[in-house]
Structure 1
Amino acid sequence: MSEQNPFRILVVDDDTGMRHSLVDLLEAADWQVEALPRADKVAAHLKSSLPDVILSDVRMPGMSGLELLESLDAEAPPMVLISAHGDIPMAVQAMQAGAYSFLEKPYEPRRLLTVLIHAAEQYRMRKNNDRLKERLYRLSGLDRVLLGQTDSVSELRDDILDFAQTNAAVLIEGETGTGKELVARALHDLGSNPDAPFLALNCAALNSDRFEAEMFGTAGQAGQTDGRLTAASGGTLFLDEICACPPEVQAKLLRVIEDQQVLPIGATTPVPVAFRVISTTNQDIGKAVGTGQLRRDLLFRLNTVALTVPPLRQRRDDLIVLATHFLEEYARIYELDVPAVSREDLAAMLSHDWPGNVRELRHACERRILAARRGRGSLAEAISGAATEEMPATLREAVAALEREMIAKAIKDQEGRMDAAAEALGIGRRTLNEKIVKLGLDKEALL
């Protein structure tokens, strides 16, 4: 126990002599002690002063120690009960009700102090973890990345924070457009090494013939060329839409995940690799395994933890929050005032089924802003797609709008790293700079 931060305890006992004796013992051990003669005064006391542990007698007039224990909520400090009339049934009842420990009078001072110290340390650790979780939540911007306050989204954010610091494989399930990749990147960014590589593989595009050369690398007289898996070692391997992965590639991925090593083509010595595996699917995983689309043994390696991203139709309370965010985002990009959301817009959002989920809503909001550039349109029209005036009038405008969207997405995905954004777009850095100027994009507004 630190002298600068001594443990705090609340003693509750109706026996004046016993209460004073406990206070003397604890103060001699450098505890900060407060004492009450009745249990029914504890609730009011806890509103102004929160101890690290509560030490209470069991049999008292009015509210008993057991009744006090049952009245405390889950956030209350741990409670140690002490009684001169204790017996086994009472101890069992106390522990079942959530008591940290139960001791009989006369107590052995050293044992009592040991129990209280352990209870206080555990409580402080729990509070520190809660504070760290809150701080990470604020710093990570999870509330901005995964917008919404419905229970399913709040629980998903909590799960991300809980599992980010582990190396467990995570399988993220959800429909197309729900934001599965955002969840994967959040797990990586909040992990123990966010600066490590994040290798995203589109499983539908993986080719069995080229897989080993591209992923494992090659070795020959000219030297060894590292594959993408070697380059990603120490970071995260993100397998996007794993059920779309060709069967032959699934077998090779399974071997790498199990062996944690790759053998470059032409080499005789394998190269060790180590990465966390995060995968996604928009399909029914049980059906995919049942039809042979996904190897069962690969699934066992991927779903140590399973997270589900809810579809937008199941979180309609978040619609206005999401729409407002996207409208503000695109208004900054296109340097326009944010259009108001009318009753008709809200009705259209609530009545729409959102098969494309959050991605569809994002695109609808961008169409609304594009229409606002000409002083036309509404969000309701953007959602229905019925208004032709919200679409670009010419092919040149349509191409420019598509380029603007793709460049903006690349800059955001690469967190402002322009060389990486250019590589992701398949163009040179100079070309990217020219297009940013030509399209009037504001890089700072995108980040």
Structure 2
Amino acid sequence: MPEKLRVLIVDDDTEMRQSLAVLLERSGWITDAVGSAESALTRLEATAPDVVLSDVRMPGKSGLELLEEMSKRPAPPLVLISAHGDIPMAVDAIQNGAYSFLEKPFEPRRLLTVLKHAAEQHRLSDMTRRMREQLVSLSGLDRVLLGSDLRVAELKAEAVDLAMADGPVLITGETGTGKELVARALHRLGPRRDREFVAVNCATLAPERVEEQVFGTAHTLLGSFRKADGGTLFLDEVAACPVEVQTKLLRAIETGVIHPVGTDDEVQTDVRIVAATNEDLGPMVGAGKFRADFLFRLNTFELRLPRLMDRGDDIVMLYEHFVSQLCETYEIGPIDMTAEDVAALLAHQWPGNVRELRHVAERRVLAARRGAGSVADALKTDDLIDDVPATLREAVARFEKTLISQAISNHGGRMDAVAEALGIGRRTLNDKIVKLGLEKSKLLE
């Protein structure tokens, strides 16, 4: 049985307030009634109504002023009633966000219909919002777009919308802002989620071998387009793509038709293109280093990821999020944050953005395992570990091997979950597992 709808009644006239409450309760509503706009503002969070029904003319704040205050926060729809209303007042109220305006004396059935529609619309919007938040969390967007910054909230909402579209998306942002993670999130959130996500590093595409790498061969090599057929093809570092390669990719993206090497056959493919760059492609077009038609094909939609240093207090929130995850990975207790730690986080310029922040969190957690460390220490790149191997490369390999091994064990070998916990793409994770000589089966024994 559906949960009963809730209404908050706001009217300074006691008799009118009680009359409205009786009418609504007899119609199956749960009511709460207050005599002023000030009281209504304090009751909103406590009662979580689906709709607010308010008189316009009241001592203190008027119904129109209540509407103005409610517009500054997440709030249910407001329906206004007044015995003194006129057309200009009604128009003004609607333009300023009121759901509807009814003039006394009102017809009860009309009032009930308006309130029911407003409440049901609010519940639908609230359910959609909660579903969006769940999808964002499940897709991994929160890993790079966690926080309360308004730009970040808008970016998450835009990403969810773009995930359901099918046009090409160009993701721009500085190194370390999480472009590949956002690209993967777009794939997971969209209708192609059950097909392949294929990542291509454009900086590694050689003009003389691009057709084999991207279009495949007649009998042996599938190529990126056919691997991603039905799914998403992610063109990373697209600014590094040689002009000759851009020309070959452009036709395939426009038509979906590719010609595998060694055959005259045409193969029709269906891929969604997501590209990423940390460079401004406009000047590159002007300099002849990037084709204008290729750019126009890629940026049907564009997502600009903000720099970490522009996100204010979100830096601390993200750091705590990473530390919490890593404490679970390394099976250690929570790490207290001091005022000095917060000051160090906010004072740093973060040239490496979210990726650098995660590395700092990793170093802080590793130090905590030895009962020492601070954020200031973790920000330093020298003398991070007491037992330092002979070379930096050996030290990095040892660190990565420990972290990846622990994550594989903690997540039962579920590699998508491991990649998400480590903050790297699945392709990067696979490459590191091979390079480090890790055997998944032995780690799960």
- Same fold at TM > 0.5: yes
Question: What is the alpha-carbon distance in structure 2 between the residues aligned to residue 314 and residue 16 of structure 1?
Answer: 51
Q: Secondary structure at the match of 1:234?
A: coil
Deviation at 1:415, TM superposition (A): 4.5
Question: For 1:134-184, what per-residue CA distance to the aligned partner results, in whole angstroms no more than 9, with x for missing partners?
Answer: 434554565455566666656655554554444453322222233322222
Alignment of 1:404-423 (within 5 A): 405=400, 415-416=417-418
Partner letter of residue 433 of structure 1?
Answer: E
> Residue 424 of structure 1 aligns with which residue?
431
Alignment of 1:260-275 (within 5 A): 260-265=256-261, 266-275=263-272
Alpha-carbon contact 2:177-2:354 (below 8 Å) kept? yes
Q: Does 2:397 align with 1:402? A: yes
Check 1:376–1:389 CA distance in 2 against 1; reply closer, same or farther (3 A cut).
farther
Question: What is the alpha-carbon distance in structure 1 between the residues aligned to residue 35 and residue 21 of structure 2?
Answer: 12
> Residue 93 of structure 2 aligns with which residue?
94
Question: For 1:209-245, what per-residue CA distance to the aligned partner results, in whole angstroms no more than 9, with x for missing partners?
Answer: 43333333444xx6x9643212212322211111111
Alpha-carbon contact 2:173-2:307 (below 8 Å) kept? yes
Equivalent position to 1:433, from 417, 429, 439 = 439
Instruction: Identify the range of structure 1 (77-86 vs 87-96) with the bigger mean alpha-carbon deviation.
Output: 77-86
Instruction: Identify the range of structure 1 (164-173 vs 373-382) with the bigger mean alpha-carbon deviation.
Output: 373-382
Alpha-carbon contact 1:392-1:398 (below 8 Å) kept? no
Question: What is the alpha-carbon distance in structure 2 between the residues aligned to residue 321 and residue 46 of structure 1?
Answer: 27
> Residue 53 of structure 1 aligns with which residue?
51
Partner letter of residue 54 of structure 1?
Answer: V
Deviation at 1:287, TM superposition (A): 1.5
Question: What is the alpha-carbon distance in structure 1 between the residues aligned to residue 418 and residue 132 of structure 2?
Answer: 27
Check 1:52–1:258 CA distance in 2 against 1; reply closer, same or farther (3 A cut).
same
Deviation at 1:199, TM superposition (A): 0.8
Question: What is the alpha-carbon distance in structure 1 between the residues aligned to residue 58 and residue 362 of structure 2?
Answer: 67
Question: What is the alpha-carbon distance in structure 2 between the residues aligned to residue 65 and residue 208 of structure 1?
Answer: 68
Partner letter of residue 48 of structure 2?
Answer: L
> Residue 308 of structure 1 aligns with which residue?
304
Instruction: Identify the range of structure 1 (201-210 vs 156-165) with the bigger mean alpha-carbon deviation.
Output: 156-165
TM-score (norm 2): 0.73
Instruction: Identify the range of structure 1 (406-415 vs 205-214) with the bigger mean alpha-carbon deviation.
Output: 406-415
| Number of equivalenced pairs | 430
Question: For 1:82-108, what per-residue CA distance to the aligned partner results, in whole angstroms no more than 9, with x for missing partners?
Answer: 334332211122113321112334434
> Residue 30 of structure 1 aligns with which residue?
28
> Residue 171 of structure 2 aligns with which residue?
172
Question: What is the alpha-carbon distance in structure 1 between the residues aligned to residue 58 and residue 130 of structure 2?
Answer: 36
Check 1:194–1:291 CA distance in 2 against 1; reply closer, same or farther (3 A cut).
same
Partner letter of residue 9 of structure 1?
Answer: V
Partner letter of residue 91 of structure 2?
Answer: V
Question: What is the alpha-carbon distance in structure 2 between the residues aligned to residue 337 and residue 39 of structure 1?
Answer: 47
> Residue 212 of structure 1 aligns with which residue?
211
Deviation at 1:309, TM superposition (A): 3.1
> Residue 422 of structure 2 aligns with which residue?
none
Q: Secondary structure at the match of 2:74?
A: coil
Deviation at 1:281, TM superposition (A): 0.9
> Residue 82 of structure 1 aligns with which residue?
81
> Residue 104 of structure 1 aligns with which residue?
103
Unaligned runs of 5+ in 1: none
Alpha-carbon contact 1:381-1:387 (below 8 Å) kept? no
> Aligned residues: percent identity?
49
Check 1:55–1:332 CA distance in 2 against 1; reply closer, same or farther (3 A cut).
closer
Q: Secondary structure at the match of 1:208?
A: coil
Question: What is the alpha-carbon distance in structure 2 between the residues aligned to residue 56 and residue 367 of structure 1?
Answer: 55
Check 1:199–1:98 CA distance in 2 against 1; reply closer, same or farther (3 A cut).
same
Unaligned runs of 5+ in 2: 409-414, 420-425
Question: What is the alpha-carbon distance in structure 2 between the residues aligned to residue 195 and residue 112 of structure 1?
Answer: 47
> Residue 292 of structure 1 aligns with which residue?
288
Equivalent position to 2:243, from 247, 253, 263 = 247
Alpha-carbon contact 1:201-1:240 (below 8 Å) kept? yes
Deviation at 1:403, TM superposition (A): 6.8
Question: What is the alpha-carbon distance in structure 2 between the residues aligned to residue 317 and residue 156 of structure 1?
Answer: 17
Q: Secondary structure at the match of 1:177?
A: coil
> Residue 63 of structure 2 aligns with which residue?
65
